[in-house]
Amino acid sequence: MKKPLIMTPGPTAVRENVRLARAEETTNPDIDEEFYEFYKETCYRLGTFLKTSNEVRILSGEGILGLEAACASLTEQGDRVLIIENGIFGEGFGDFVKIYGGEPFYFRNNRKRKIDIEELKAFLDKDSNFKYATVVHCDTPSGVLNDIDKICPILKEKNILTVVDSVAGMGGEEIRVDDWKIDIVLGGSQKCLSAPPGLTFLSISEDAFSAMENRQTPIASFYCNLLVWKDYYKDKWFPYTPPISDIIGLKKAVDNLLGEDNIIERHDIIASATRAAVVSSGLKIHIEDGYSNTVTVIDVPHGINDKKIIKYMLDNYGVMITGSFGYLEGRVLRIGHMGENAKAGKVGYTLFALQRALEHYGFKLYKDMASVFFEKI
């Protein structure tokens, strides 16, 4: 089977050393104490990557498990939870809150712009009685990037715990968990980390753990219960058999990230050049500010069908991009440039293929996107 170049916003290409690490012979991870050391060291390195001294836990499940675990562990019946949203993932947090009996309050903002800090402050001055608040770093369906460096300290000042979904941010965007006072940040293996899908990880502050410990009622889940992970190392006990090969692969992927000097700059350069190419050709970036480094979201030109473009690119050039979903279904095209995919050759080729597809269906571009892109790199 000939494999296409996958340029969607995750899962991303997996580097050979990560694939090989996953093939290593393994031990019994429940019983072998060496694996407890290995798991702890992997968590520690994730903490280094996230710039935190908070505890980190790796759970067996895709990024969505991280979102649900954070909400399940913090939410009690009737808890007021602030859902800061300017996108599909942002809004979706509210559903998890409801499942676990909490009452979501939505701070809704323009979905084409990053969260407006002044509006958020004004909102909180009127009502800040929330147990915790959720916000998405990069909301991938639209590509909008929120200033979590500003948002989280403001919330914390009002004694609101902060939960951040940075699945599509971390690794391509700066993240400083301790400086920015993030109680729980969660990520996934398959975006900028460039490991296969299957793992989520969270850094959990002392405040977040004590909120869980001081609940009136038990956490209404086992698989989503972060508290059962608290003392795994002391007790040498995991709640379930950890997916050892996935974790060995993840550690290699984290080492790849930590070994690169300026990974954020690499993403920044690629993303800026992509936007420049898109705009100069006469296409339109979907959002108006808060452009993320990890995904570029382009409005589908009038009269063009997104599915046809995607299929043409795949059939004729072997490159896969994607549309979006929810309210953006059929309206945008998305190019992911995350981790191993944030490379000039791959993105330049993708823009070339996109151009050919658009031209094939009758949309005339003003400039050659690949040329503009490479000039900016």
Ligand X SMILES: *Cc1c(COP(=O)(O)O)cnc(C)c1O
Q: Which residues bind ligand X (CB under 6 A)?
A: 10, 62-64, 89, 136, 139-140, 165, 167-168, 188, 191
Query: Which ranges of 259-343 does DSSP label H, i.e. alpha helix?
Result: 263-280, 306-317
- Residue pair 87/111 in contact by the 8 Å Cβ criterion: yes
Q: Name the nearest CA neighbour of 276 among 373, 172, 374.
A: 373
Decide whether 167 or 270 has the Cβ nearer to ligand X.
167
Annotated binding residue 334: yes
Decide whether 310 or 357 has the Cβ nearer to ligand X.
310
Q: At what angle do helices 63-74 and 206-213 cross, to 10 degrees?
A: 60
Quote the least distance from Cβ 169 to ligand X, whole Å: 8
- Distance, CA of 77 to CA of 198 (rounded, Å): 30
Decide whether 140 or 350 has the Cβ nearer to ligand X.
140
Decide whether 200 or 355 has the Cβ nearer to ligand X.
200
- Distance, CA of 4 to CA of 38 (rounded, Å): 34
Quote the least distance from Cβ 373 to ligand X, whole Å: 23
- Amino acid sitting at position 294: T
Decide whether 53 or 322 has the Cβ nearer to ligand X.
322
Question: Which residue, judged by CB position, is nearest to ligand X in the bound state?
Answer: 63
Quote the least distance from Cβ 158 to ligand X, whole Å: 24
Cα-atom radius of gyration of the chain, to the nearest Å? 21
Q: Name the nearest CA neighbour of 254 among 62, 47, 29, 36.
A: 47
Quote the least distance from Cβ 78 to ligand X, whole Å: 26
Question: For residue 315, what are its two tokens?
Answer: 């059939």
Quote the least distance from Cβ 191 to ligand X, whole Å: 6
- Distance, CA of 353 to CA of 268 (rounded, Å): 22
Question: For residue 122, what are its two tokens?
Answer: 């004004």
Annotated binding site: 334
| Feature table: binding site for substrate | 334
